[in-house]
């Protein structure tokens, strides 16, 4: 199962339509090595054994070309949550002995957490989301695009921009990684002591679980992406009280959570 259907409201210049959108599944997988929790990666389910084989090889944890034994310890809705890998201690490489954060399978910064319970994010649901018009979203994106100097030159960087409640640009940062750009933008406002003014987070790529978590921790109630949102991003946006909007381009957008905060929506 690599996609799930989620309801959304698609806005175009002439109409608003209720849709069922196929979102790529983002789900955690806890990897145990010899019955001991080792790390958690975020991935799209299917081909998990291939994922483990390649990941442990790349990280110098198991370089032997013989296959290892695996056992699914726990499932949820048919999706493996915990898989144990049995590897003789003599075959464990330096990557296991000198543990560090593993490579991210879904470009997700939470990869490297040791157990599923470590994914829990504490805090009260965001409830003070101001009413705003969908038109202002496109205006903010136009402003963000005008400041993407690295992208103009290279075509290879992501951007994260933060605006206040009046759609004033507070900061914009670029980086090759989506999550790095968000960290830079939030860090900039922390240094300036203006993070409390943050209201909109605009990102140039897709939104996964971790970007929603970063916004929640920074108490930014509205996330707008130029590209897709993962299933887990939508789930957590709903839980955190965040208005999450994806596919914002060419005067279109798709709202996945808290659509009532957009004032020019009709009942669709």
Mean pLDDT of 52-57: 82
Q: Does one domain contain both 182 and 56? A: no
| Phi, psi torsion values for 133, nearest 5 degrees | -95, 145
Q: Does one domain contain both 151 and 253? A: yes
pLDDT at 217: 86
Mean pLDDT of 172-187: 86
Q: Does one domain contain both 32 and 11? A: no
Q: Does one domain contain both 31 and 71? A: yes
pLDDT at 118: 58
135-172 confidence digits (pLDDT tens): 889 899 999 999 988 888 778 888 999 999 999 999 99
Q: Does one domain contain both 173 and 45? A: no
Number of domains in the chain: 2
Is 65 annotated to bind ligand?
A: no
Q: Does one domain contain both 55 and 152? A: no
Going by pLDDT thresholds of 50, 70 and 90, the confidence category of residue 52 is confident
Could you tell me which of 220, 182, 183, 222 has the C-alpha nearest to residue 204? 182
Look up the CATH number of the domain holding residue 86: 3.10.20.10
pLDDT at 222: 94
Is 250 annotated to bind ligand?
A: yes
Q: Does one domain contain both 75 and 171? A: no
* Burial of 180 (C-beta count, 10 Å sphere; 0-12/13-18/19+): middle
Enclosing domain of residue 92: 27-105
Is 249 annotated to bind ligand?
A: yes
Indicate which residues carry an active-site annotation.
108
Residue 250 lies in a domain: yes
Q: Are 182 and 217 contacting, i.e. CB atoms less than 8 angstroms apart?
A: no
| Phi, psi torsion values for 187, nearest 5 degrees | -60, -40
């Amino acid at each position: 199962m690599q996609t799930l259907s989620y309801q959304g409201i698609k806005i175009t210049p002439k109409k608003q339509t209720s849709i069922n959108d196929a979102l790529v599944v983002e789900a955690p997988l806890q990897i145990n090595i010899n019955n001991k929790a080792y790390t958690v990666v975020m991935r799209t389910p299917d081909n998990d054994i291939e994922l483990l084989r390649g990941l442990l090889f790349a990280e110098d944890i198991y370089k032997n070309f013989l296959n290892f034994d695996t056992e699914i310890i726990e499932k949820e809705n048919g999706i493996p949550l915990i898989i144990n890998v049995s590897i003789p201690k003599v075959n464990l490489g330096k990557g296991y002995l000198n543990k560090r954060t593993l490579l991210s399978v879904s470009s997700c910064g939470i990869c490297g957490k040791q157990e599923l319970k470590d994914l829990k994010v504490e805090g009260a649901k965001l409830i003070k989301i101001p009413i705003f018009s969908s038109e202002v979203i496109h205006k903010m994106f136009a402003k963000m695009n005008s400041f993407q100097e690295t992208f103009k030159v290279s075509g290879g960087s992501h951007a994260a921009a933060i605006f206040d409640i009046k759609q004033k640009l507070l900061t914009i940062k670029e980086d090759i990684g989506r999550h790095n750009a968000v960290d830079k933008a939030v860090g900039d406002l922390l240094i300036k002591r203006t993070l409390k003014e943050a209201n909109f987070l605009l990102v140039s790529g897709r939104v996964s679980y971790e970007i929603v978590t970063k916004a929640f921790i920074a108490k930014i109630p509205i996330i707008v992406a130029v590209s897709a949102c993962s299933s887990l991003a939508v789930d957590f946006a709903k839980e955190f009280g965040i208005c999450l909007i994806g596919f914002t381009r060419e005067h279109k957008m798709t709202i996945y959570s808290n659509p009532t905060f957009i004032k020019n929506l009709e009942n669709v």
